[in-house]
A and B are shown apart, each in its own frame.
Chain A
C-alpha cells in the first residue's frame, strides 16, 4: 500500500510569495496533520484536519492555512513568505482522530525561501 505522499519534494520561493503544498494520506486514513521542521529541531504541529474540518491548530500565524478535500487529501498554504519559513514541511495521516494507532508521516516538502 502507498504511504503518505507529498508534493512537491523541493520548492524554492522568494520572500513575499505564497506557496501551496499538497498531501495524500494513506488509503483509509481520514485525518491529516501538518508539521513544520526547522533544521536541527523536532517537528512542530501546525494543523490537523478531520472530515474536512480543522480539529487543531498550533502556534503559527494566520499566514498559514490549510484545507482538506472530500477524498481526504490536504493542502497547506503559506502567504507572504518570510525567510524563517524555510523548513521541511511534513504531512502525517491517521485513521481517525480518537485512536491509539500512530500517525504515519510522508517524506516532506523542503521549502527554501530566498
Chain B
C-alpha cells in the first residue's frame, strides 16, 4: 500500500470549513483513499473513501486531484465535536480489506 503524508496538526475556527490535506504521491491506479478520524478515547471512525472522483456524504467531502497524488478532506462547517486525529489511508482495491496502514495522522483542533 502507498505511503501517505499528512501535516501533524491544524486549527480551524468553529463554523468554518476544515480542509485536511493528504499526500500520496506513490499511489497506484487500483488504490483507494480512505479517511478515518479518532476522537479521544474512541476507536477510529470511518468517514469517506474514493478512487478518483470526488465523493460527498453526510459527514464530509473528499477531493482527489486529477493525478491522484493528493487529496483533501473537507468538513464544510466544523464544530467543536470535530476535534480529533484524522487519518488518511491508501489501500489496494479488492484486496485485504482487513489491513490498514495508519500513519500518525493530523490533529485537528476546532476553536470557538
Secondary structure call for the B interface: loop
Query: Which of B32, B44, B95 is close to A43, meaning CB atoms less than 8 Å apart?
Result: B44
Number of A-B contacts (CB under 8 A): 80
Q: Mark B14-38, 1 if CB is under 8 A from A, else 0.
A: 0000000000000000001010100
B94→A99 contact, CB < 8 A: yes
Q: How many residues of A contact B (CB 8 A)?
A: 34
A102 touches B94 (CB 8 A): no
Q: Interface size class for chain B?
A: 20 to 34
Which residues of A from 56 to 114 have beta carbons under 8 Å from B?
56, 58, 90, 92, 94-108
* Closest CB in chain A relative to B6 CB, distance in Å: 10
Measured CB to CB, the residues of B under 8 A from A are 32, 34, 36, 41-46, 49, 87, 93-105
B42 touches A56 (CB 8 A): no
